[in-house]
Structure 1
Amino acid sequence: MRQFLIEDIKTWDRFYRANFVNCLTGFKPVSLVGSISNSGVPNLSVVSSIVHLGADPALIGYINRPIAAAPDTITNIEHTKCYTINHINETFLQQAHQCSAKYLPEVNEFAATKLTEYYEDGIIAPFVKEALVRYEMELVEIAPIHYNNTFFVIGQLKSVFLEESIIASDGFIDLSSAGSIVSIGLDGYAKVEMITRLPYAKP
């Protein structure tokens, strides 16, 4: 097994280095974050850094890239305090991946990527109708990470939309049945196959 020193990694081509480092963390959940601007323009962004922060209160966070690289989503969330998270499945993977393109702020990314903009009563942020697992978030905090100019966006879960048939009797959600996929690196996507569930571990 070869050792790769960070001093050497820093000398690599930018895109080669980005692919290499992005793959190290392994498979990650990948979703579309839906938001809307003050002027009513819907936005979508691909996010693969979503993490569970707690169940009570139900908090979920994700890393937003630097403002210069990805300004629209974080600006929309900051202004409206509301956004949605929509699991990507294979049926609309190509369109979802296209949401990683840098569209101008005035572009409706649902229309640009031919995804269906969908609203639930009383929720101002748009959902992706094609997503089989989708949920509404309310902004709690945007924590700047000064070292690399990114932001940790923390939200509180407000409501969830999915088919009851994929929920087990103990609340476990079978996401493989829903077709939710995962990502690896910057542009790799994979299906998920459930192996097993294990009992609560005790000493």
Structure 2
Amino acid sequence: MTYFSESDIQNLEHLYKINLINSCSGYKSANLIGSKSEDGIENVAVFSSVTHIGSSPAMLGFFLRPTTVIRNTYENIKTTGYYTINHIHKSITKDAHHTSAKYNDSISEFDATDLESEFKPDFYAPFVKGAPIQLAMQFVEEYEIKANNTILVIGKIVGLYINDNLIEKDGFINLAKAEVAAINGLDGYAIPDRNLRFGYQKPKELEVRS
């Protein structure tokens, strides 16, 4: 195996280091976060850091890089309180990835790609049309990660839209059926084609050794 010490990692060429460290944690969720400014400018951006926080209440979090530069998604969420999370699926991966480009806040990524926005009744932020899973989110709180000046944004699910054929009898959402993508590193997209489920696990009865 190739070994990198802490000093090796620190001394790597910048782009190589970014690719290496972003890939080593494994596959990550691939989501588009939709928001809208107080001036009505729609924004959509790709995120690979959405994570489960809790089920009751239903909450998700995602991480933002340092806000030393303008982050349109963050500004929109903080000023309006609402945003959406939309699963990236196979047919939109290229356009979804392009939303990582840094556009001026007067330009909507929906206009710069073939992605289409759609609105649900009584919800401020735009969803991504055609996304098989769409979540309406309300901002709850944020935490500064002092070690690297990133921010953990936590929101609660106030609406959940799922394509009918994806929900199994026990409530499990079968993402493979929807060809939902996962992200490997910064720019590698994978499409899982099946799920292996093993159910809730209980301890085995093992012989106690004296």
Assess same fold via TM > 0.5. yes
Partner of 1:140: 140
CA distance, structure 1, for counterparts of residue 56 and residue 195 of structure 2:
28
Measured after TM superposition, the shift of residue 70 of structure 1 is 5.3
The equivalent of 1:180 in structure 2 is: 180
Q: Residue 54 of structure 2 aligns to which amino acid in structure 1? A: G
Task: Tell me if structure 2 keeps the 8 A contact 1:64–1:70.
Answer: no
If the length of structure 2 is used for normalisation, what is the TM-score? 0.94
Identity rate of aligned residues, in percent? 39
Quote the Cα distance in structure 1 between the aligned partners of 2:37 and 2:156.
20
CA deviation map 1:158-181 (0-9, x unaligned): 111122221111100101101111
Correspondence 1:13-162 to 2 at 5 A: 13-69=13-69, 71-162=71-162
Q: Contact conserved, 1:22 with 1:185, CA < 8 A, in 2?
A: yes
Indicate the SS of the match to 1:136. strand
In 1, the alpha carbon distance for the partners of 2:8 and 2:199 equals 43
Task: Tell me, in whole angstroms, the C-alpha distance in 2 between the residues paired with 1:192 and 1:70.
Answer: 34
Q: Distance in 2 between the 1:22 and 1:201 partners?
A: 31
Unaligned runs of 5+ in 1: none
Instruction: Name the counterpart of 1:7.
Output: 7
Q: Distance in 2 between matches of 1:165 and 1:44?
A: 26
Structure 1 position 8, deviation (Å): 1.0
Structure 1 Cα separation of the partners of residues 66 and 113 of structure 2: 23
Instruction: Return the alpha-carbon distance in structure 2 between the equivalents of residues 195 and 129 of structure 1.
Output: 25
**Take 1:70 and 1:6, find their aligned partners in 2: how far apart are those partners?**
31
Q: Which runs of 5+ in 2 are unaligned?
A: 204-210
**Alpha-carbon distance in structure 1 between the residues aligned to 2:90 and 2:199:** 31
Q: Given the two structures, how large is their TM-score scaled by the length of structure 1? A: 0.97
Measured after TM superposition, the shift of residue 66 of structure 1 is 1.2
Letter in 1 for 2:199: P
User: Whole-Å Cα distance in 2 between the matches of residues 116 and 199 of structure 1?
Assistant: 37
Which has the larger Rg? 2
Name segments (4+ residues, structure 1) moved above 4 Å: none
Query: Partners of 1:172 and 1:137 in 2: how far apart?
Result: 20
Confirm or deny: 8 A CA contact 1:46 1:97 kept in the other structure: yes
